[in-house]
A and B are shown apart, each in its own frame.
Chain A
Amino acid sequence: MFIIHFIKEQAMRKLNSIIRFSEKIIFLLLILFCETSFSHEGHSHGSSVVTSTSFDQLGNLWRVREQKGFVIVDSSNDQGINFSKSINVNTELQKIGTSGDAKPKIAIGPEGNIYVTWTQTLSKPYTGYIWFARSKDHGKNFELPQIVHQDKSEITHRFDAINVNKDGRIFVAWVDKRDLEKAKLQKKEKEYKGAALYYAVSENFGESFKIERKIVDSSCECCRIALTNDSKGNTIAMWRQLYDKGIRDHAVAKIDMNDNIVVNRATFGGWKIDACPHHGPAISRGGDWGYHMAWFDGGDKAGLFYGRIDGDAWVSSPAKRFGNANFQAGHPSLLSINEKVYLAWKEINESGNYIVLAISEDGGKNWLEAKTIKKTEGASDYPELIQFNKKAFLSWNTIKDGYQLMALE
């Protein structure tokens, strides 16, 4: 009797332990599924192809990318062949803007500080925060990131752009919809069109930012902003602006150190569209006369264009067409070194993506024949032109062929 009871008890114990074990397995499996579903919302593609780079004063190349919900930074001291172990800039997992014209940016101050900005995508559609982080020890550590705007409502703050001037003054601009949201609440008769551009400035090398200010109303909602400086260090911005009757041409603004803002229309393509173009412009300072500009226009005359604009009267030259519109010429980058101007853009055909480069040796008046300089078969980022010691480089990230840095003649 006792033996039977003992065997029964043993069997029950075994059964119980099997049940407990299966429970644990189910529990773990469920956690696994949930993790998967959470991480889907948390990041994109595993790692995105978008990359931004900049040289420091010693010629080290600094690179920022997005990987699994983190903004990561690494560097190369052999011109992009080998890179250091990357470090995470944000401490907590975020969904980081990397689609369309969005990507994390990197800039280096004259004192050697490394600055990174990015857009955190929030859960409501089209919403985000603009984050900023700095490293004061040459990229060994990044300080705790901060949101640059004081308005923390869950609305559009997206498409960050950063510029550091010769004195180390940091200027961060972005697309902001606080005025649209306000207009919606007030139910004004005249509908608020587009978004707005805002900016925040740090005059203490990234320690803190002054309260943000508005550059303009009715900017395009989903195109990157291009920034540069005049010779005195004032900020020059170029972006796609919404003009009357839904025309999306480009504007240029000078925002001086005292926050005086002068906005002028810079392009006259007349692309009329109520859409998100996902094509932002490029700008680079030329000689004393003004600026080089490159941009994309859609519609009947779709294509990539280049023009010059002077920095006093803000009059632009006639637009000159570049690239092959049949192969989606777009997403330009510009770099001007003395009289030499480099214009790079991306095209696509059946066999892959490639970068085309055009060079002018006389400040953009005449151009040598454009040449395809890099190709890849898989996905690729838009090109970036960067410089070190007055020497130009193409910086381009690809999935299949990895990161490419190419010295330009």
Chain B
Amino acid sequence: MKLKILLFLLLFSNFSFAYEFMPFEINTRNVIEKKYLNQPLIISFWSIDCPYCIDDLKKLGKALSKNKNVKLITVCVDGKESAKKAERILNLAHLPEHERYQYAEVDEDKLRYSIDPTWYGELPRTYFYDTAHQVTPLSGKISNSFLDAWLNK
């Protein structure tokens, strides 16, 4: 009996170790930009509370499977207490292997302001960096025409 309980608990505790989100802090956007200098890059900010976000992530996943040169970064704007749910939702998007971040700053407003003062919190929010790191920010659903045009640029 004890063994069964032990195994049951082990199962749950394993889940609790399964998160692989890296902390996204005030300086993280700069660090990512430097790390992937001269590479096309998409940074996608999303939330477990935003129905449009998951559709967007699915779309990005599909497009990037054919454009492997584009680096993808996802940032979940919900705190780490939502990590389990966030991971569950993110896995639904069938994204390629990529760096997954999650907000790690209590003052989310300040963090958002530091990322981009012209972003008012609407989600999804996606930043498209071309090879020269010319950035196109986009709020809301990514249209197919925009995505095709950007990928073929």
Contact = CB atoms under 8 A, between A and B. Distances in A.
Contacts of B106: 45, 378-379, 399
Classify chain A: how many residues form its interface, as a range.
35 or more
A275 B46 CA distance: 10
A399 B106 CA distance: 9
Nearest to A352: B110
Interface in A14-40: 23, 26-27, 30-31, 33-34, 36-38, 40
A125 B48 contact: yes
Interface in B72-106: 78-85, 89, 106
Contact of A44 (B6, B16, B81, B124): B81
A38 B12 CA distance: 8
B121 A278 contact: yes
Contacts of A346: 109
Interface in A218-264: 221-222
Contact of B16 (A23, A37, A222): A37
Interface centre among A23, A273, A278, A380 (most CB of B within 10 A): A278
Given A27-B6, A30-B10, A275 B107 contact: no
A268 B6 CA distance: 60
Contacts of B84: 37, 40-41
B13 interface: yes
A63 interface: no
Interface string A346-357: 101110110000
A346 B118 CA distance: 15
A275 B52 contact: yes
A36 B79 contact: no
B33 interface: no
Contacts of A126: 49, 51
A298 B118 CA distance: 10
Given A33-B13, A34-B9, A276 B123 contact: yes
Interface string B125-143: 1000000000000011100
A353 B118 contact: no
B25 interface: no
A380 B141 CA distance: 29
A379 B15 CA distance: 30
B148 interface: no
Contacts of A330: 120-121
Interface string A333-373: 00000000000001011101100000000000000000000
B150 interface: no
A116 to B, nearest CB: 22
B146 to A, nearest CB: 12
B50 interface: yes
Contacts of B139: 273, 275, 298
Interface string A313-346: 0000000000000111010000000000000001
B113 interface: yes
A348 B122 contact: no
A37 B113 contact: no
B54 interface: yes
B19 to A, nearest CB: 9
Nearest to B121: A278
A276 B52 contact: yes
A99 B13 contact: no
B120 A296 contact: yes
Contacts of A221: 51
A274 interface: yes
A379 B16 contact: no
Interface of B: 2, 6, 9-10, 12-13, 15-16, 47-54, 78-85, 89, 106-110, 113-114, 117-118, 120-125, 139-141
Interface of A: 23, 26-27, 30-31, 33-34, 36-38, 40-41, 43-45, 99-100, 123, 125-126, 221-222, 273-279, 296, 298, 302, 326-328, 330, 346, 348-350, 352-353, 378-380, 399
- In the complex, the 9 A-B pairs of residues with the closest C-beta atoms, listed nearest first: A37-B16, A275-B140, A274-B141, A379-B107, A33-B13, A273-B140, A276-B50, A30-B9, A274-B140
